[in-house]
Amino acid sequence: MSYLKPVLTATMLALALGLPACKSKQEAAREQSLEQKADTKEDKADVVRKEGEATADRIERQDPGMDSRSTDRAADAARESSENRADQLEDEADRLREQK
């Protein structure tokens, strides 16, 4: 019986250290949900960039040639606006991933 105490102690210690390392199904589901939300945000950022570029291109094509500086400024503003929004979406995606 003198060997029982060290064996029990070792078993208890192994269980105490091993159990917290296992992820619960709820934790894994939460992390997967956060990852999916982050991926969705990044996909939206890509769409915003493409739409911003398309808008800028459309503005440039509609230029009658009389005041191309203002057309360039409007196109640049459309690009910058969409880029800023896309960056915000990517930052939100990064924050979601940090929650894991």
**Each residue of 66-80: pLDDT tens digit?**
778 889 999 999 999
Q: What pLDDT, on a 0 to 100 scale, did the predictor assign at position 5? A: 72
51 near 82, Cβ under 8 Å? yes
Share of the chain above pLDDT 90, in %: 57
In the 8-state DSSP scheme, what is residue 22? S
In the 8-state DSSP scheme, what is residue 63? -
82 near 48, Cβ under 8 Å? yes
24 near 83, Cβ under 8 Å? no
**Each residue of 35-55: pLDDT tens digit?**
999 999 999 999 999 999 999
- Counting Cα atoms < 13 Å in the Cβ hemisphere of 69 gives 0
Q: What pLDDT, on a 0 to 100 scale, did the predictor assign at position 20? A: 56
pTM score above 0.85: no
Q: What pLDDT, on a 0 to 100 scale, did the predictor assign at position 92? A: 96
Residue 1 has pLDDT above 60, yes or no: no
Q: What pLDDT, on a 0 to 100 scale, did the predictor assign at position 67? A: 72
Q: What pLDDT, on a 0 to 100 scale, did the predictor assign at position 43? A: 97
